[in-house]
């Protein structure tokens, strides 16, 4: 049984793909009110191009007594640990969690909340967004790298992902992947918010990007992630060019007055720099500017 915590964009994308090949799936929703709206909606709807399909995936709330063996955590980084803690008593011995959260920091928070469980981190390049409640658009096909920083052996259920057509690889260096993605995010996303621009417009600020990449490389090296620092600036430019017409996820969050995941992205990078006693003035200034920008818009700055 796949239990899926959170029926937002990625939770829906995973739940529908697993359910439609006949795998058993149970959604875990926030509360009785959400469960009621879900039942009214009649299931999850996935929009793929002009194909719109509804899947009546079973759902329950956290207080359901069913034991949990495998849990896909599909909440935002700032909600993950608290949402998982509510389920701690339902986790079976040997339970496994898949953590879809962007950035770093939430994985450790979850691991502390449920030390008995195996935590598998996922770094995903898939793209999905909520068009309405329980209705998700699959905007960009991507890939998922899964890995466990503590135990190298892959789980047997990767075969389920294969069967469901969820593109994936088991990564022996998942932390390196998460760090690299975090560094790309720190270089690109805050600037798109501060300049209120699409990714491609950052090419007009190449010097600033280069300065940030230099400091982020120092940080990665200081955190024993030298290979994640390799060719960072070239990769940032490649991403900016390849996604020139897109608005970054952080830009979209701010534009729609939604809470950002700053604490687990640029905030995490700045805290790590402090712990390593690294002086990274451009990165710290960027963080201060972003916090001020969020506060000015009445959004949480953490
Ligand atoms: P999302 O659409 O906002 O979905 C999050 C879901 O978590 C919401 O449905 C929310 O419930 C639910 N939730 C929060 N607390 C809960 C609780 N205590 N119990 C049950 N459900 C709870 O977020 P997302 O876009 O899927 O992102 C999830 C993570 O994946 C983020 O860290 C994001 O950065 C990462 N990611 C997303 C994408 C993407 O394309 N979307 C791509 C790569 C990585 P409500 O509906 O009740 O609010």
pTM: 0.97
Under 8 Å CB-to-CB from 20, ≥6 apart: which residues? Answer: 53, 55, 164
118-124/58-61 β-pairing: unpaired
Query: φ and ψ at 138, to 5 degrees?
Result: -85, 100
pLDDT of amino acid 259: 98
The residue segments making up the domain with residue 150 are 2-171
Q: 34 CA distance to ligand 1 centroid (A)?
A: 14
User: How far is it, in rounded angstroms, from Cα 47 to Cα 266?
Assistant: 32
pLDDT of amino acid 121: 98
In a domain, 301, yes or no: no
Are residues 166 and 247 both part of a single domain? Answer: no
**CATH number, position 287:** 1.10.1040.10
pLDDT of amino acid 3: 98
Are residues 24 and 134 both part of a single domain? Answer: yes
In a domain, 270, yes or no: yes
In a domain, 302, yes or no: no
Q: Supply the residue whose CA is at minimum distance from atom 21 of ligand 1.
A: 6
User: How far is it, in rounded angstroms, from Cα 210 to Cα 299?
Assistant: 29
Q: 77 CA distance to ligand 1 centroid (A)?
A: 8
* Residues of the chain scoring pLDDT < 70: none
**Tokens encoding 88:** 């701690």
How many domains does one find in the chain?
Answer: 2
**CATH number, position 129:** 3.40.50.720
Are residues 203 and 144 both part of a single domain? Answer: no
Are residues 8 and 91 both part of a single domain? Answer: yes
Question: Among residues 139, 171, 203, which one ends one of the domains?
Answer: 171
Q: Is the CB of 253 under 6 A from ligand 1?
A: no
Are residues 165 and 243 both part of a single domain? Answer: no
Residue 170: strand pairing partners: 146
Catalytic residue status for 76: no
Are residues 161 and 246 both part of a single domain? Answer: no
Q: Is the CB of 77 under 6 A from ligand 1?
A: yes
Are residues 131 and 187 both part of a single domain? Answer: no
Are residues 36 and 128 both part of a single domain? Answer: yes
């Amino acid at each position: 049984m796949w239990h899926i915590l959170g029926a937002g964009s990625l939770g829906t994308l995973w739940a529908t793909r697993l359910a439609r090949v006949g795998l058993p799936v149970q959604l875990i929703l926030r509360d009785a009110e959400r469960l009621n709206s879900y039942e009214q909606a009649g299931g999850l709807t996935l929009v793929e191009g002009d194909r719109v399909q509804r899947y009546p995936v079973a759902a329950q709330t956290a207080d359901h007594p069913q034991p949990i063996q495998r849990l896909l955590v599909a909440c935002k980084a700032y909600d993950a640990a608290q949402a998982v803690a509510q389920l701690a008593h339902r986790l079976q011995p040997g339970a496994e969690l898949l953590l879809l959260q962007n950035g770093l920091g939430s994985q450790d928070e979850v691991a502390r909340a449920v030390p008995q469980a195996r935590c598998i981190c996922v770094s995903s390049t898939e793209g999905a967004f909520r068009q309405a409640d329980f209705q998700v658009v699959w905007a960009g096909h991507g890939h998922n790298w899964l890995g466990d920083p503590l135990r190298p052996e892959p789980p047997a259920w990767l075969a389920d992902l294969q069967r469901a057509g969820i593109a994936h690889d088991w990564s022996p260096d998942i932390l390196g992947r998460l760090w690299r993605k975090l560094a790309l995010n720190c270089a690109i996303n805050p600037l798109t918010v501060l300049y209120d621009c699409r990714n491609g417009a950052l090419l007009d600020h190449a010097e600033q990007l280069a300065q940030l990449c230099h400091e982020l490389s120092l940080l990665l090296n200081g955190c024993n992630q030298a290979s994640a620092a390799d060719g960072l600036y070239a990769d940032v430019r490649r991403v900016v060019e390849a996604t020139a017409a897109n608005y970054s996820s952080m830009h979209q969050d701010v534009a729609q007055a939604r809470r950002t995941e700053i604490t687990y992205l640029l905030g995490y990078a700045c805290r790590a720099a402090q712990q390593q006693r690294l002086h990274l003035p451009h990165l710290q200034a960027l963080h201060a500017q972003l916090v001020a920008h969020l506060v000015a818009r009445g959004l949480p700055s953490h």
